[in-house]
Amino acid sequence: MIDLIKECSAAQNIGISGHIRPDGDCIGSTLSLCLYLRKVFPEKRVDLFLEPYAEAFQDVEGIDAIDHSFQGADHYDVYFCVDCGKDRLGDAEALFDAAEKTINIDHHISNKNGCGDVNYVEPEASSASELVFDLLDPGYIDAKIAAAIYMGIVHDTGIFQYSSTSPKTMRIAAQLMEYGFDFSQLIDKTFNEKTYHQDQIMGRALLESILFMDGRCIFSAIDHKTMEFYDVCGKDMEGIVSRLRETKGVECAIFMYEYEPLTYKVSLRSCGKVDVAKVAAIFGGGGHVRAAGCTINGTVHDVINNLSVHIEKQLEG
């Protein structure tokens, strides 16, 4: 466990970042850490740099703390990398590398050794937000900080349902509720609610999904033209792969979208038999046993051919 207050007490400038294409846990963990450090150390500069987030998060309390410029202080005394290893920090990687002291808080098995001078990496944890909670002095937590952590946990556990949800996760959620925030609205606004365009693209992806390997695998792909037609980007397609995974009989689901010509962002989900973090790692990606991702060049068929060899090996092994 890290003593956050001790690690930061000598610093003047503190930076925080999470992974590219930030999701709910990435936003919740970094935002709660930022709000907390600003409260504990009002005299210090605490910057939070993340790439633009989905519209669904725009009403989250304190979200204005997030800066998309990646232009901060000349130098950071402490820099936090949260919810990923430094290879997924995007523009923040240079800030992290240049910092005096680096701290990594993560729960990805693919980053189990950590990338900081100081590391708190627990692959068993439901979310990076849960790990941030571990490190906070409860005396400084308020409704805003609690809501951000709660949101992160909700997103990475699929509202407390994925197998990464532990009794500890539930106890933390219960403690957070005591701070008093509208958890029901937070879940609806940031997790459940979809725009009309998101509904349309989900429908299209499900309609065109294909079962293979005797129904044990399913995939769906959205090319760039289709993304333009429905006016959606990657952030709008979160949730599709989880829905595919819930198809009866399916062990492993693949969803991909073409974010550059012949370059696919691939999301993998498993019911537990296939370790998709291992599959993603073969293609330079990573993640968790049941949820992972990577980027692969080629046509849809190339991508499926490449992935299915490794998935089939595990299903038969």
Binding site for ligand 5GP (CB under 6 A): 19, 88, 108, 110, 241, 267, 285-288, 291-295
Min separation Cβ 127 and Mn ion, Å: 5
Min separation Cβ 36 and ligand 5GP, Å: 22
User: Could you give the CA distance from residue 39 to residue 41 in angstroms, rounded to a whole number?
Assistant: 6
Choose the contact partner of 294 out of ligand 5GP, Mn ion, none; CB within 5 to 8 A by kind.
Answer: ligand 5GP
Choose the contact partner of 128 out of ligand 5GP, Mn ion, none; CB within 5 to 8 A by kind.
Answer: Mn ion
Min separation Cβ 27 and Mn ion, Å: 10
Q: For residue 16, which of 24, 6, 26, 3 has the smallest C-alpha distance?
A: 26
Choose the contact partner of 286 out of ligand 5GP, Mn ion, none; CB within 5 to 8 A by kind.
Answer: ligand 5GP
Query: Residue 188 belongs to what H/E stretch?
Result: none
Min separation Cβ 145 and ligand 5GP, Å: 22
Do 73 and 50 contact (CB within 8 A), yes or no? no
Comparing CB distances to Mn ion, the nearer of 153 and 254 is 153
**10: burial class by Cβ within 10 Å (0-12, 13-18, 19+)?**
exposed
Q: For residue 53, which of 44, 64, 38, 37 has the smallest C-alpha distance?
A: 64
Min separation Cβ 276 and ligand 5GP, Å: 8
Min separation Cβ 2 and Mn ion, Å: 18
Choose the contact partner of 291 out of Mn ion, ligand 5GP, none; CB within 5 to 8 A by kind.
Answer: ligand 5GP
Do 48 and 31 contact (CB within 8 A), yes or no? yes
Which residues, 6+ apart, have CB-to-CB distance to 174 below 8 Å?
none
User: Could you give the CA distance from residue 63 to residue 148 in angstroms, rounded to a whole number?
Assistant: 9
**Would you give the DSSP letter of residue 68?**
S
Comparing CB distances to Mn ion, the nearer of 104 and 308 is 104
Comparing CB distances to Mn ion, the nearer of 83 and 275 is 83
Choose the contact partner of 245 out of ligand 5GP, Mn ion, none; CB within 5 to 8 A by kind.
Answer: none
Do 271 and 252 contact (CB within 8 A), yes or no? yes
Choose the contact partner of 88 out of ligand 5GP, Mn ion, none; CB within 5 to 8 A by kind.
Answer: ligand 5GP
Comparing CB distances to Mn ion, the nearer of 25 and 93 is 25
SS3 220: strand
Q: Which residue is nearest to Mn ion (CB)?
A: 25
Choose the contact partner of 285 out of ligand 5GP, Mn ion, none; CB within 5 to 8 A by kind.
Answer: ligand 5GP
User: Could you give the CA distance from residue 63 to residue 35 in angstroms, rounded to a whole number?
Assistant: 10
User: Could you give the CA distance from residue 126 to residue 106 in angstroms, rounded to a whole number?
Assistant: 10
Min separation Cβ 288 and ligand 5GP, Å: 6
Comparing CB distances to Mn ion, the nearer of 217 and 292 is 292
Comparing CB distances to ligand 5GP, the nearer of 73 and 281 is 281
**Would you give the DSSP letter of residue 139?**
G
Residues that bind Mn ion (CB under 5 A): 25, 83, 128, 156
Structure tokens at 94: 């240079």
Min separation Cβ 107 and Mn ion, Å: 6
Comparing CB distances to Mn ion, the nearer of 111 and 209 is 111
SS3 295: strand
Choose the contact partner of 278 out of Mn ion, ligand 5GP, none; CB within 5 to 8 A by kind.
Answer: none
Comparing CB distances to ligand 5GP, the nearer of 143 and 281 is 281
**Would you give the DSSP letter of residue 90?**
G
3-state helix, strand, coil in the chain (%, to 5): 45, 20, 35
